[in-house]
Amino acid sequence: MVFDLITIFPEYFESPLKVGLLGKAIQKGLLKVRLHNLRDFATDKHRTVDDKPFGGGEGMLLKPEPLYRAIEALKKESPEPWVVYLSPQGRLFNQEVARELLAKKHLILICGRYEGIDERIRQYFVDDEISIGDYVLFGGEAAALVLIETVARLVPGVVGCEDSVKRDSFAEGLLKHPQYTRPRDFMGYTVPEVLLSGDHARIERFRREESLRITFEKRPDLLAKASLTDEDRAFLEK
Ligand code: SAM
């Protein structure tokens, strides 16, 4: 999986790409994250990448020419890269979108700044516009990191224990069941007895029911899309 990032702040990514499982995956070559400074695609001596919007109004916009040059240069690197513009106006990012993006293999991620990018780039040179939520950030860098971390988790081998990804919240349409570790008794609050029973079938059923319970309590909207068994439905109707 290759991520090419177009940004005016490549330094933003320095630490996040070195730490934890993401850092290890990059080191092992399981994924590549390449940083491209948009200013390197400007042609004037001041390396200008922004300009005022036509018609007046607040702020500055990223100009089309450097963005176009950057996209075209990176497109030559693989047969069918997928060009994504991180934008508060895009379709909402979630685990399903992450799986779709994983299948693309080569993503070119455009991080906007200021008031955003010239509309002609968005309209004619971008394949996908993705938002990480209904709020406005200073720039697309934080959004790109969210996207990279989420997709990277799905790349085989990145998370040592594959089951942990398969059982993550959203992976099967539900939230993950609550988990407990030692001590058994913490300030009088105890671990559910069934988890200490060693009875794997009972533990599995308990965890499934806990998943159903917390999804019902916290995100009932997810239940409509989740694939549920008759046993699950009977539990929810109780
Ligand atoms: N003026 C734009 C608007 O109202 O839609 C917002 C521009 S925002 C200050 C600058 C950049 O941050 C955007 O071009 C985009 O790349 C990024 N950005 C802001 N919020 C985002 C979000 N929720 N998801 C993804 N990217 C976001």
Tell me: pLDDT of 161 over 90.
no
* 111 within ligand 1 shell (Cβ under 6 A): yes
> For residue 116, is it within any domain?
yes
> For residue 49, is it within any domain?
yes
Residue 32: its pLDDT value, please?
98
Q: What percent of the chain has pLDDT over 90?
A: 95
**Residues 96 and 122 placed together within one structural domain of the fold:** yes
User: In the chain, how many domains are there?
Assistant: 2
Ligand 1 atom 22: residue of nearest CA: 88
Could you tell me if 178 and 214 are in contact, meaning their C-beta atoms sit under 8 angstroms apart?
A: yes
> For residue 159, is it within any domain?
no
Beta bridge partners of 109: 5, 84
**Residues 226 and 125 placed together within one structural domain of the fold:** no
pLDDT confidence tier of residue 162, bands split at 50, 70 and 90: confident
* 113 within ligand 1 shell (Cβ under 6 A): yes
Residue 64: its pLDDT value, please?
98
What average pLDDT does this structure show over 217-233?
Answer: 97
Tell me: pLDDT of 25 over 90.
yes
Q: How far is the C-alpha of 42 from the C-alpha of 73, rounded, in Å? A: 13
The dihedrals phi and psi of 201, each to the nearest 5 degrees, come to -65, -45
**Residues 142 and 173 placed together within one structural domain of the fold:** no
- What is the domain range of residue 107? 2-154
ipTM of the complex: 0.99
> For residue 162, is it within any domain?
no
Ligand 1 atom 24: residue of nearest CA: 131
> For residue 182, is it within any domain?
yes
Tell me: pLDDT of 216 over 90.
yes
What average pLDDT does this structure show over 191-199?
Answer: 98
**pLDDT single digits (tens) 45-89:** 999 999 999 999 999 999 999 999 999 999 998 889 999 999 999
Residue 163: its pLDDT value, please?
84
